Structure 1
Amino acid sequence: MSRDAKVDAYLDKVAPFARPVLEHVRARVHAVMPEVEEATKWGAPAFLLDGKILLIMAAFKQHLALNFWRGQELRGEAASDEAMGQFGRITSLADLPADSELDRLIAQAAELSRSAPAARKPKAAPKPAAELHPEFVAALDGDPAAKAQFEAFPPGCRREYGDWIAEAKRDDTRAKRIATTMGNLREGKKLHWKYEGC
Protein backbone atom coordinates (compact mmCIF):
# COMPACT_ATOMS: atom_id res chain seq x y z
CA MET A 1 0.00 0.00 0.00
CA SER A 2 1.53 3.29 -1.13
CA ARG A 3 0.95 6.04 1.42
CA ASP A 4 2.28 9.55 1.03
CA ALA A 5 3.67 11.44 4.03
CA LYS A 6 2.14 14.66 2.66
CA VAL A 7 -1.31 13.07 2.82
CA ASP A 8 -0.60 12.00 6.42
CA ALA A 9 0.41 15.58 7.24
CA TYR A 10 -2.77 16.89 5.60
CA LEU A 11 -4.92 14.52 7.66
CA ASP A 12 -3.15 15.60 10.85
CA LYS A 13 -4.29 19.20 10.25
CA VAL A 14 -7.96 18.72 9.31
CA ALA A 15 -10.87 19.43 11.64
CA PRO A 16 -11.72 16.52 13.98
CA PHE A 17 -14.98 15.70 12.17
CA ALA A 18 -13.17 15.31 8.83
CA ARG A 19 -10.37 12.92 9.71
CA PRO A 20 -12.44 9.72 10.17
CA VAL A 21 -14.27 10.35 6.91
CA LEU A 22 -11.07 10.99 4.95
CA GLU A 23 -9.35 7.99 6.53
CA HIS A 24 -12.34 5.83 5.60
CA VAL A 25 -12.24 6.95 1.96
CA ARG A 26 -8.48 6.42 1.92
CA ALA A 27 -8.90 2.87 3.24
CA ARG A 28 -11.62 2.06 0.69
CA VAL A 29 -9.50 3.34 -2.21
CA HIS A 30 -6.53 1.21 -1.13
CA ALA A 31 -8.76 -1.83 -0.56
CA VAL A 32 -10.27 -1.61 -4.05
CA MET A 33 -7.15 -0.49 -5.92
CA PRO A 34 -4.02 -1.62 -4.02
CA GLU A 35 -1.81 -0.27 -6.80
CA VAL A 36 -3.10 3.29 -6.41
CA GLU A 37 -0.56 6.00 -5.59
CA GLU A 38 -1.17 8.86 -3.18
CA ALA A 39 -0.17 12.42 -3.93
CA THR A 40 -1.25 15.96 -3.17
CA LYS A 41 -2.81 17.97 -5.97
CA TRP A 42 -3.79 21.61 -5.45
CA GLY A 43 -2.95 21.12 -1.78
CA ALA A 44 -5.41 18.24 -1.27
CA PRO A 45 -4.97 14.45 -1.06
CA ALA A 46 -5.35 12.71 -4.40
CA PHE A 47 -5.24 9.12 -5.58
CA LEU A 48 -3.56 8.36 -8.90
CA LEU A 49 -3.55 5.34 -11.14
CA ASP A 50 -0.86 5.21 -13.82
CA GLY A 51 -0.26 8.91 -13.19
CA LYS A 52 -3.91 9.87 -13.77
CA ILE A 53 -6.06 11.33 -11.02
CA LEU A 54 -8.90 9.06 -9.89
CA LEU A 55 -10.13 10.92 -6.86
CA ILE A 56 -9.40 14.04 -4.82
CA MET A 57 -10.67 14.64 -1.29
CA ALA A 58 -10.55 17.99 0.47
CA ALA A 59 -11.45 19.17 3.96
CA PHE A 60 -12.81 22.60 4.75
CA LYS A 61 -13.80 24.23 8.04
CA GLN A 62 -17.27 22.71 8.27
CA HIS A 63 -17.46 20.13 5.49
CA LEU A 64 -15.39 18.07 3.14
CA ALA A 65 -15.68 17.09 -0.49
CA LEU A 66 -15.04 13.96 -2.47
CA ASN A 67 -14.36 14.50 -6.16
CA PHE A 68 -13.94 11.72 -8.71
CA TRP A 69 -11.95 13.08 -11.62
CA ARG A 70 -14.41 11.57 -14.11
CA GLY A 71 -17.32 12.14 -11.74
CA GLN A 72 -19.92 13.30 -14.25
CA GLU A 73 -19.43 10.08 -16.17
CA LEU A 74 -19.65 8.04 -12.97
CA ARG A 75 -22.50 9.77 -11.18
CA GLY A 76 -24.43 11.48 -13.98
CA GLU A 77 -27.63 13.03 -12.65
CA ALA A 78 -26.83 11.85 -9.13
CA ALA A 79 -23.85 14.21 -8.93
CA SER A 80 -24.36 17.14 -6.56
CA ASP A 81 -23.76 20.71 -7.60
CA GLU A 82 -23.96 22.18 -4.09
CA ALA A 83 -20.24 21.74 -3.31
CA MET A 84 -17.00 20.71 -4.90
CA GLY A 85 -17.27 17.04 -5.77
CA GLN A 86 -20.14 14.80 -6.68
CA PHE A 87 -21.50 14.07 -3.18
CA GLY A 88 -22.29 17.55 -1.91
CA ARG A 89 -21.22 18.77 1.52
CA ILE A 90 -19.95 15.83 3.54
CA THR A 91 -19.86 16.30 7.32
CA SER A 92 -19.79 12.70 8.60
CA LEU A 93 -19.42 9.07 7.54
CA ALA A 94 -23.19 8.92 7.18
CA ASP A 95 -22.96 11.35 4.22
CA LEU A 96 -20.82 8.91 2.22
CA PRO A 97 -22.39 6.29 0.00
CA ALA A 98 -22.44 2.73 1.37
CA ASP A 99 -19.09 0.97 1.14
CA SER A 100 -20.36 -1.30 -1.65
CA GLU A 101 -21.37 1.75 -3.73
CA LEU A 102 -18.17 3.62 -2.94
CA ASP A 103 -16.12 0.55 -3.89
CA ARG A 104 -18.06 0.23 -7.15
CA LEU A 105 -17.41 3.89 -8.00
CA ILE A 106 -13.69 3.54 -7.24
CA ALA A 107 -13.42 0.44 -9.46
CA GLN A 108 -15.42 2.11 -12.21
CA ALA A 109 -13.23 5.23 -12.00
CA ALA A 110 -10.16 3.03 -12.40
CA GLU A 111 -11.69 1.29 -15.41
CA LEU A 112 -12.56 4.63 -17.01
CA SER A 113 -9.05 5.90 -16.35
CA ARG A 114 -7.47 2.86 -17.98
CA SER A 115 -9.75 2.32 -20.93
CA ALA A 116 -11.87 5.28 -21.93
CA PRO A 117 -10.51 8.53 -23.26
CA ALA A 118 -11.58 11.57 -21.28
CA ALA A 119 -14.86 13.01 -22.42
CA ARG A 120 -14.35 16.10 -24.52
CA LYS A 121 -16.10 19.21 -23.41
CA PRO A 122 -18.00 20.88 -26.22
CA LYS A 123 -16.45 24.09 -27.37
CA ALA A 124 -18.22 27.15 -26.14
CA ALA A 125 -19.75 29.37 -28.77
CA PRO A 126 -17.53 32.37 -29.45
CA LYS A 127 -18.54 35.54 -27.71
CA PRO A 128 -20.03 38.22 -29.93
CA ALA A 129 -17.84 41.12 -30.97
CA ALA A 130 -17.49 43.80 -28.32
CA GLU A 131 -20.04 46.59 -28.54
CA LEU A 132 -18.15 49.86 -28.63
CA HIS A 133 -19.37 53.13 -27.20
CA PRO A 134 -20.16 55.62 -30.02
CA GLU A 135 -17.61 58.13 -28.68
CA PHE A 136 -14.90 55.46 -28.80
CA VAL A 137 -15.93 54.52 -32.36
CA ALA A 138 -15.66 58.20 -33.35
CA ALA A 139 -12.18 58.44 -31.76
CA LEU A 140 -11.03 55.32 -33.61
CA ASP A 141 -12.40 56.64 -36.90
CA GLY A 142 -10.40 59.84 -36.37
CA ASP A 143 -7.10 58.00 -35.79
CA PRO A 144 -6.37 55.39 -38.49
CA ALA A 145 -3.15 54.16 -36.82
CA ALA A 146 -4.87 53.53 -33.48
CA LYS A 147 -7.83 51.91 -35.25
CA ALA A 148 -5.52 49.59 -37.19
CA GLN A 149 -3.80 48.54 -33.95
CA PHE A 150 -7.15 48.03 -32.21
CA GLU A 151 -8.39 45.82 -35.06
CA ALA A 152 -5.13 43.83 -34.99
CA PHE A 153 -5.70 42.85 -31.34
CA PRO A 154 -7.42 39.54 -30.59
CA PRO A 155 -11.14 39.77 -29.78
CA GLY A 156 -10.58 39.45 -26.02
CA CYS A 157 -8.25 42.47 -25.97
CA ARG A 158 -10.70 44.54 -28.00
CA ARG A 159 -13.51 43.49 -25.63
CA GLU A 160 -11.44 44.54 -22.59
CA TYR A 161 -10.99 48.04 -24.00
CA GLY A 162 -14.63 48.26 -25.12
CA ASP A 163 -15.97 47.11 -21.75
CA TRP A 164 -13.63 49.38 -19.78
CA ILE A 165 -14.83 52.41 -21.70
CA ALA A 166 -18.51 51.39 -21.65
CA GLU A 167 -18.44 50.82 -17.88
CA ALA A 168 -17.60 54.46 -17.18
CA LYS A 169 -20.54 56.05 -15.39
CA ARG A 170 -19.59 59.68 -15.98
CA ASP A 171 -18.92 61.38 -19.28
CA ASP A 172 -15.62 62.86 -18.09
CA THR A 173 -14.44 59.43 -16.90
CA ARG A 174 -15.34 57.93 -20.29
CA ALA A 175 -13.47 60.74 -22.08
CA LYS A 176 -10.34 60.09 -19.94
CA ARG A 177 -10.54 56.36 -20.66
CA ILE A 178 -10.90 56.97 -24.38
CA ALA A 179 -7.88 59.31 -24.32
CA THR A 180 -5.83 56.71 -22.40
CA THR A 181 -6.94 53.99 -24.80
CA MET A 182 -6.03 55.99 -27.87
CA GLY A 183 -2.54 56.68 -26.47
CA ASN A 184 -2.08 53.00 -25.60
CA LEU A 185 -3.24 51.93 -29.06
CA ARG A 186 -0.79 54.28 -30.78
CA GLU A 187 1.96 52.57 -28.76
CA GLY A 188 0.58 49.08 -29.50
CA LYS A 189 -0.31 48.43 -25.85
CA LYS A 190 -3.13 46.24 -24.59
CA LEU A 191 -5.30 47.49 -21.73
CA HIS A 192 -3.36 45.55 -19.09
CA TRP A 193 0.06 45.97 -20.69
CA LYS A 194 1.70 46.77 -17.32
CA TYR A 195 1.06 43.20 -16.13
CA GLU A 196 2.27 41.31 -19.19
CA GLY A 197 5.30 39.18 -18.60
CA CYS A 198 4.97 39.36 -14.80
Structure 2
Amino acid sequence: MNKNEKWRNELEFLRAIINKTELEKTNKWGGEVYTLNNGNVLMIGAFKNYVSLWFFNGVFLNDSYKFLSNAQEGKTKALRHWQFTSVDEMDEEKIMEYIQEAIENEKQGLKWKPEKSKHLEIPKILEIALNDDREFGSAFQSLAPFKQREYIEYIATAKREGTKVSRIAKIKLMVLAGLGLNDKYRK
Protein backbone atom coordinates (compact mmCIF):
# COMPACT_ATOMS: atom_id res chain seq x y z
CA MET A 1 0.00 0.00 0.00
CA ASN A 2 1.44 3.38 -0.96
CA LYS A 3 1.57 6.21 1.58
CA ASN A 4 -1.20 8.24 -0.09
CA GLU A 5 -3.54 5.24 0.22
CA LYS A 6 -2.44 4.56 3.80
CA TRP A 7 -3.23 8.15 4.78
CA ARG A 8 -6.24 8.71 2.50
CA ASN A 9 -8.67 9.66 5.31
CA GLU A 10 -6.23 12.11 6.89
CA LEU A 11 -5.41 13.74 3.55
CA GLU A 12 -9.11 14.03 2.66
CA PHE A 13 -9.80 15.58 6.06
CA LEU A 14 -7.11 18.23 5.49
CA ARG A 15 -8.29 18.89 1.92
CA ALA A 16 -11.88 19.40 3.14
CA ILE A 17 -10.69 22.03 5.62
CA ILE A 18 -8.45 23.78 3.07
CA ASN A 19 -11.25 23.79 0.48
CA LYS A 20 -13.28 26.02 2.83
CA THR A 21 -10.67 28.77 2.32
CA GLU A 22 -9.74 31.00 -0.59
CA LEU A 23 -6.53 29.07 -1.28
CA GLU A 24 -5.94 27.61 -4.74
CA LYS A 25 -4.56 24.11 -5.17
CA THR A 26 -1.50 23.57 -7.36
CA ASN A 27 1.04 20.80 -7.71
CA LYS A 28 4.67 21.63 -7.04
CA TRP A 29 7.64 19.51 -6.01
CA GLY A 30 5.50 16.40 -6.32
CA GLY A 31 2.97 17.56 -3.73
CA GLU A 32 -0.21 19.51 -3.16
CA VAL A 33 0.63 23.17 -2.63
CA TYR A 34 -2.01 25.75 -1.78
CA THR A 35 -1.41 29.33 -2.88
CA LEU A 36 -2.86 32.80 -2.57
CA ASN A 37 -2.13 35.20 -5.46
CA ASN A 38 0.64 32.80 -6.59
CA GLY A 39 2.30 32.92 -3.16
CA ASN A 40 2.93 29.54 -1.52
CA VAL A 41 0.98 29.34 1.74
CA LEU A 42 0.82 25.67 2.68
CA MET A 43 1.36 22.13 1.49
CA ILE A 44 0.06 18.73 2.56
CA GLY A 45 1.91 15.47 2.19
CA ALA A 46 1.92 11.85 3.27
CA PHE A 47 5.01 10.22 4.69
CA LYS A 48 5.77 6.75 6.00
CA ASN A 49 4.72 7.43 9.61
CA TYR A 50 2.57 10.56 9.41
CA VAL A 51 0.70 13.14 7.34
CA SER A 52 2.00 16.66 7.46
CA LEU A 53 0.59 20.13 6.99
CA TRP A 54 3.44 22.45 5.94
CA PHE A 55 3.36 26.23 6.29
CA PHE A 56 5.84 27.93 3.96
CA ASN A 57 6.18 30.98 6.20
CA GLY A 58 5.31 29.13 9.39
CA VAL A 59 8.03 30.97 11.29
CA PHE A 60 5.58 33.92 11.44
CA LEU A 61 2.69 31.89 12.91
CA ASN A 62 1.91 32.38 16.60
CA ASP A 63 1.72 28.61 17.16
CA SER A 64 -0.33 29.18 20.32
CA TYR A 65 -0.95 25.43 20.73
CA LYS A 66 2.71 24.48 20.10
CA PHE A 67 1.94 22.03 17.27
CA LEU A 68 4.52 23.23 14.76
CA SER A 69 8.05 22.02 14.37
CA ASN A 70 11.05 22.77 12.19
CA ALA A 71 11.85 19.81 9.94
CA GLN A 72 15.59 20.49 9.83
CA GLU A 73 16.74 22.61 12.72
CA GLY A 74 19.58 24.87 11.65
CA LYS A 75 18.80 24.48 7.94
CA THR A 76 15.13 25.25 7.46
CA LYS A 77 14.47 28.89 8.28
CA ALA A 78 10.79 29.65 7.57
CA LEU A 79 9.07 26.33 6.86
CA ARG A 80 7.14 24.73 9.74
CA HIS A 81 5.01 21.61 9.79
CA TRP A 82 2.32 19.95 11.87
CA GLN A 83 2.31 16.15 11.91
CA PHE A 84 -0.72 13.90 12.29
CA THR A 85 -0.96 10.13 12.70
CA SER A 86 -4.77 9.80 12.61
CA VAL A 87 -7.95 11.73 11.88
CA ASP A 88 -8.82 11.38 15.58
CA GLU A 89 -6.08 13.84 16.54
CA MET A 90 -7.07 16.39 13.89
CA ASP A 91 -8.98 19.31 15.37
CA GLU A 92 -10.65 21.13 12.48
CA GLU A 93 -11.12 24.34 14.44
CA LYS A 94 -7.44 24.58 15.43
CA ILE A 95 -6.23 23.60 11.97
CA MET A 96 -8.44 26.28 10.42
CA GLU A 97 -7.10 28.82 12.93
CA TYR A 98 -3.52 28.14 11.76
CA ILE A 99 -4.52 28.19 8.09
CA GLN A 100 -6.39 31.49 8.44
CA GLU A 101 -3.40 33.05 10.20
CA ALA A 102 -1.12 31.82 7.37
CA ILE A 103 -3.50 33.35 4.81
CA GLU A 104 -3.51 36.68 6.66
CA ASN A 105 0.29 36.63 6.85
CA GLU A 106 0.43 36.05 3.09
CA LYS A 107 -1.95 38.95 2.49
CA GLN A 108 0.23 41.19 4.65
CA GLY A 109 3.31 40.13 2.66
CA LEU A 110 5.08 38.42 5.56
CA LYS A 111 7.78 36.40 3.84
CA TRP A 112 11.09 35.08 5.04
CA LYS A 113 13.95 36.87 3.32
CA PRO A 114 17.21 34.93 3.39
CA GLU A 115 20.11 36.87 4.81
CA LYS A 116 22.76 37.58 2.22
CA SER A 117 26.28 37.88 3.38
CA LYS A 118 27.90 41.11 2.24
CA HIS A 119 31.38 39.82 2.94
CA LEU A 120 32.81 37.12 0.70
CA GLU A 121 35.26 34.88 2.52
CA ILE A 122 37.57 33.68 -0.25
CA PRO A 123 39.05 30.24 0.45
CA LYS A 124 42.80 30.49 1.02
CA ILE A 125 43.60 28.13 -1.87
CA LEU A 126 41.57 30.27 -4.31
CA GLU A 127 43.13 33.46 -2.95
CA ILE A 128 46.61 32.04 -3.60
CA ALA A 129 45.64 31.00 -7.16
CA LEU A 130 44.21 34.47 -7.88
CA ASN A 131 47.35 36.19 -6.52
CA ASP A 132 49.72 33.86 -8.40
CA ASP A 133 48.09 34.55 -11.78
CA ARG A 134 47.46 38.26 -12.40
CA GLU A 135 45.23 37.69 -15.41
CA PHE A 136 43.09 35.18 -13.49
CA GLY A 137 42.93 37.48 -10.45
CA SER A 138 42.02 40.52 -12.52
CA ALA A 139 39.32 38.62 -14.42
CA PHE A 140 37.87 37.32 -11.15
CA GLN A 141 37.75 40.83 -9.65
CA SER A 142 35.93 42.15 -12.72
CA LEU A 143 33.11 39.60 -12.32
CA ALA A 144 29.81 40.69 -10.77
CA PRO A 145 29.65 39.92 -7.02
CA PHE A 146 27.04 37.19 -7.51
CA LYS A 147 29.31 35.41 -9.99
CA GLN A 148 32.25 35.71 -7.59
CA ARG A 149 30.03 34.25 -4.84
CA GLU A 150 29.12 31.27 -7.07
CA TYR A 151 32.80 30.47 -7.62
CA ILE A 152 33.74 31.02 -4.00
CA GLU A 153 30.98 28.65 -2.82
CA TYR A 154 31.96 26.10 -5.47
CA ILE A 155 35.53 26.00 -4.20
CA ALA A 156 34.62 26.30 -0.49
CA THR A 157 32.17 23.38 -0.57
CA ALA A 158 34.79 20.89 -1.76
CA LYS A 159 35.92 18.74 1.15
CA ARG A 160 39.26 17.52 -0.14
CA GLU A 161 42.17 19.77 -1.03
CA GLY A 162 42.65 17.87 -4.29
CA THR A 163 39.07 18.55 -5.29
CA LYS A 164 39.54 22.26 -4.59
CA VAL A 165 42.65 22.31 -6.80
CA SER A 166 40.86 20.54 -9.66
CA ARG A 167 37.86 22.86 -9.34
CA ILE A 168 40.12 25.91 -9.58
CA ALA A 169 41.68 24.50 -12.74
CA LYS A 170 38.18 23.83 -14.11
CA ILE A 171 36.86 27.37 -13.49
CA LYS A 172 39.93 29.28 -14.68
CA LEU A 173 38.94 29.42 -18.37
CA MET A 174 35.36 30.38 -17.45
CA VAL A 175 36.57 33.24 -15.24
CA LEU A 176 38.97 34.45 -17.93
CA ALA A 177 36.05 34.48 -20.39
CA GLY A 178 33.95 36.54 -17.92
CA LEU A 179 31.46 33.75 -17.39
CA GLY A 180 29.71 32.84 -14.16
CA LEU A 181 29.70 29.27 -12.90
CA ASN A 182 25.97 28.84 -13.63
CA ASP A 183 25.59 31.09 -16.68
CA LYS A 184 24.72 28.16 -18.94
CA TYR A 185 21.58 27.55 -16.81
CA ARG A 186 20.37 31.14 -16.96
CA LYS A 187 17.96 32.21 -19.68
Range of TM-score over shorter length = 0.5 to 0.7
Deviation at 1:58, TM superposition (A): 1.1
**Partner of 1:197 in structure 2?**
184
Q: For 1:36 and 1:191, locate their aligned partners in 2 and report how far apart those are by CA, in whole Å.
A: 39
**Partner of 1:123 in structure 2?**
115
Q: Could you tell me which amino acid in structure 1 is paired with residue 55 of structure 2?
A: F
Q: For 2:106 and 2:168, locate their aligned partners in 1 and report how far apart those are by CA, in whole Å.
A: 54
Q: For 2:25 and 2:175, locate their aligned partners in 1 and report how far apart those are by CA, in whole Å.
A: 53
The alpha-carbon distance between structure 1 residues 76 and 105, as it changes in their structure 2 partners (threshold 3 A), is: closer
How many residue pairs get aligned? The number is 174
The alpha-carbon distance between structure 1 residues 122 and 70, as it changes in their structure 2 partners (threshold 3 A), is: closer
Please, which of 131, 140, 157 is the counterpart of residue 150 of structure 1? Answer: 140
**Partner of 1:9 in structure 2?**
none
Q: Could you tell me which amino acid in structure 1 is paired with residue 115 of structure 2?
A: K
Write the deviation string for residues 32-89 of structure 1: whole angstroms up to 9, x where unpaired: x2x44322232212333444443210112333221123322224483202477421x4
Higher helix proportion, which one? 1
The alpha-carbon distance between structure 1 residues 90 and 159, as it changes in their structure 2 partners (threshold 3 A), is: same
The alpha-carbon distance between structure 1 residues 23 and 111, as it changes in their structure 2 partners (threshold 3 A), is: same
The alpha-carbon distance between structure 1 residues 191 and 46, as it changes in their structure 2 partners (threshold 3 A), is: closer
Q: For 2:122 and 2:52, locate their aligned partners in 1 and report how far apart those are by CA, in whole Å.
A: 39
The TM-score with structure 2 as length reference comes to 0.67
> Is 1:26 equivalent to 2:15 in the alignment?
yes
Q: For 1:178 and 1:14, locate their aligned partners in 2 and report how far apart those are by CA, in whole Å.
A: 41
% identity of equivalent residues = 20
**Partner of 2:4 in structure 1?**
15
Q: For 2:18 and 2:158, locate their aligned partners in 1 and report how far apart those are by CA, in whole Å.
A: 53
Assess if the C-alpha contact under 8 Å between 1:59 and 1:65 holds in 2: yes
Segments of 5+ residues of structure 2 without an aligned counterpart are 73-78
The alpha-carbon distance between structure 1 residues 71 and 141, as it changes in their structure 2 partners (threshold 3 A), is: closer
Write the deviation string for residues 98-149 of structure 1: whole angstroms up to 9, x where unpaired: 22211222233333333x1224536243354213239x62x54453222211
The alpha-carbon distance between structure 1 residues 122 and 38, as it changes in their structure 2 partners (threshold 3 A), is: closer
Q: For 1:165 and 1:68, locate their aligned partners in 2 and report how far apart those are by CA, in whole Å.
A: 33
Larger-gyration structure (1/2): 1
CA RMSD of aligned residues (A): 3.9
Query: In the TM superposition, what are the counterparts of 1:104-115 in structure 2 within 5 Å?
Result: 104-114=97-107
Moved over 6 A (4+): none
The TM-score with structure 1 as length reference comes to 0.64
Q: Could you tell me which amino acid in structure 1 is paired with residue 134 of structure 2?
A: P
**Partner of 1:3 in structure 2?**
none
